[in-house]
Structure 1
Amino acid sequence: MSVRDIEAYISSFTHRDWQESNESDGPIRFALVGLGWWTRDKAMPAIENSTFCETTVVVSSSAEKANTVAAEHESVEIGITYEEFHEDSAADAYDAVYICTPNARHLEFVESAAKNGKAILCEKPMEATVERAEHIVDTCNAADATAMIAYRMHTEPAVRRARNLIDAGAIGDPVHVHGDMSQSILGWGREQWRLDSDLVGYGASVMDLGIYSVNTTRFILTADPIAVQSMMRSDHEYFTDVPDEVAAFSVAFEGGVYATCTASQNATLNSQLRIVGTEGSLLLEPAFHMSSSLCVTVGNATMDIDTEQVDQMEEEFDYFADCLLTDREPYANPEHGFVDMRALAAVYEAAETGETVDI
């Protein structure tokens, strides 16, 4: 595929190629479970600016916090506690649930939402362990609940264009992938739940950050992981309860593609995903920290691909709502998320045993 062919191919794409609803449809009313900074600073503004969504209920462990947040937002009808949510309080005031609690608390809210017949948008990773993630899959299937794991990269225009280009053979056959995501959470305090193995699950960096490289590679290549190797360490006193202050791992994907990935919660802010093929390469840099940029190299020519700059959370919420309004299953359903959970567990097992672990 020549540079001119790639340019012509890219020009045919439109923003929100996934959208099937009309702008007059909706809204889907959301209950937001867990009112940490991500929900308040990222999710709520995204919903306020969205096409198909609105927040009508907020849910917190603290009644005072729930009421305070509710009072700050005009669309919110009521703030309730976790206990009140489990007791079906305010169930008539929302259509769908966004779950953004620590990983190990996702399952209980999925169970209550499914029991109430609500659609479910659950943050990634979908739970703290493979066993609990499998229970989410079973719960959603038993209730016939529409559910999605919140992989915001799936609606990022740069990532979608990369997927289209790979599918069109723009860089030939994919051969290997380099993925990285890092940030420092030391300023967040020692009580940060990502450093608590009872809440985060297997570890801090691969569970929270490494998953981006794994899942985005899956999405772009349309291939699943089949085996992993891994190394990790924790030296800083903040990371005594988790094994992966720093992690490096390799993933074998279907089709013979190998990915080398790194992740750390104690490094400078960085993210990238490079896919190298037999005839060229794609680079997403930055990749995962709420903005993405795509560059394509074929032969001696390199071109920056212009894509719509979007609020990734806004796109994610509108995509999920669009699926509900058109009665179709989201791409990242619980079964999709469960594949990642098995891969994450394998990464930690491989680091502990020093062996290659099949998935």
Structure 2
Amino acid sequence: MTLELPTRFERDWDRPVSDAPLRFAVIGLGGFARNTALPCIEESDYCETTAVVSGSPEKAAEVASEFDAEHALTYEEYADGVGSEDYDAVYVVTPNALHLPHVETAADLEKAVLCEKPLEADADRAERLVEVCEDAGVPLMTAYRMQAARSIRWIRRQVADGLIGDPVQIHGEFSYPLLANGGDPNQWRIDPDLSGGAALMDIGIYPINTARYVLDADPVAARGTTHNPDPAFEGVDEHVAAQLEFPDAVTASCTASFGASVASRFAITGTEGRIVVESVFGVDDACHLTIDVDGSHLEGTVAAPHEVSEEFDYFATAVLTEMGLAPDGRHGLTDVQIAEAVYESAEEGTRVEL
């Protein structure tokens, strides 16, 4: 076997898109929307922003001006359908527990939906969100940018092609000190009513979902532990560890923390080799890849475009062409159910079957 490190990752899903751009209403104008998502829509090949929606009319007007959006709407105006003739899809990027009503509006307006992960703050609301879109017949994609990331898609193909033999173990970790350097202790990410949890629901979802995607399988059982030594995290998880059991005796150990040093790493070990990718869960435009197979060791940094721009173009391509849309709402619902199983296991100290 000749083992080579890719010099760059290519889109494996790209195809002609004749009806571009897909016009977006961006629902929620927090830091991620303003600093990451909206600039990435600007940089994308097939998307544009034509409406922005906020609880603050002043913020909506400011952001609309900054990104040349035609409409600056309040949540009430969005719910009333103001300006809806000028957008084709909505991107919901509000706190988790606010996703459902905004998706309900999008379904009523017959707009395609890209909804941030996790789909909602609990599984019952996530299931209702999925059903609303199914009943209306509108496309729903869960915003797992890792599934549009060229690096992870490349790794998934190598695993499927048997590069490392049969998968045995996955280790994924994602952490950063959320409240360091003046982080807001009152932010929604650590408000259980808005988030449904903390480290697990916000960043632990990344290694869990990436494990599912790379294996092309869902776990059958989960064990979990959570800790919150910092009083600011009272009632939610500051640190979480999830042990997932997949079919064929494959396991995934996924950890996340809002109180640890920065870590962003995904590794999959098989019967014949191992692949490790670092700086994987952030939005950096390059990753460090290590491959060990048949006594060969390769490593290097491989460039790739911004994962969020890729995600928007992937979604637009799926909506505007015959390409199937994934990860869909049911896929996103499964992760919320997994998260609830991890929390149940942590509370009860038991293995929870899924």
Structure 1: stretches of 5+ with no match in the other structure: none
2:83 alignment counterpart: 90
Q: Which residue number in structure 2 is paired with residue 32 of structure 1?
A: 26
Tell me how many residue pairs correspond in the alignment. Answer: 350
Question: Cα distance 1:258–1:98, how it changes in 2: closer, same or farther (>3 A)?
Answer: same
Structure 1 partner of 2:44: 50
Partner of 2:330: 335
Q: 1:14 deviation in Å?
A: 6.2
Mapped contact 1:162–1:294 kept (Cα < 8 A)? no
Task: Give the alignment's TM-score, normalised by structure 2.
Answer: 0.96
Decide which of 294, 303, 307 is 1:299's aligned counterpart.
294
Deviations 1:147-176 (A, max 9, x none): 100000111111111101101110100001
Q: 1:17 aligns to what SS in structure 2?
A: coil
Residue 7 of structure 1, CA deviation: 2.5
Structure 1 stretches (4+) deviating beyond 2 angstroms? 291-294, 304-308
| SS across alignment from 1:188 | coil
Match of 2:210 in 1: 216
Q: Name the counterpart of 2:163.
A: 170
Quote the RMSD (CA, aligned, Å). Answer: 1.5
1:7 aligned to 2:12? no
Distance 1:113 1:191 in 2: 29
Q: Does the 8 A contact of 1:223 with 1:255 survive in 2? A: no
Q: How does 1:141-220 map onto structure 2 within 5 Å? A: 141-186=134-179, 187-201=182-196, 203-220=197-214
Residue of structure 1 in register with 2:94 after alignment: 101
After TM superposition, give the deviation of residue 231 of structure 1 in Å.
Answer: 1.0
Q: Retained in 1: the 8 A contact 2:9–2:154?
A: no
DSSP 3-state at the match of 1:255 = helix
- In 2, Cα distance between equivalents of 1:118 and 1:188: 35
Question: Secondary structure at the residue paired with 1:271?
Answer: strand
Is the 1:157–1:307 contact (alpha carbons within 8 Å) kept by the matching residues of 2?
no
User: Offset of 1:26 from its aligned partner?
Assistant: 0.5
- 2:350 is aligned, of 338, 349, 355, to 355
CA spacing shift, 1:218–1:280, aligned 2, 3 Å: same
Write out per-residue CA displacement over residues 23-77 of structure 1, whole angstroms, 9 at most, x where no aligned residue.
x640000000000010011001101111000000000011111011111122x00
Q: Distance in 2 between matches of 1:286 and 1:159?
A: 12
Gaps of 5+ in 2: none
User: AA paired with 1:344?
Assistant: A
Q: Are 2:56 and 1:62 aligned?
A: yes
CA positional deviation for 1:307: 4.1
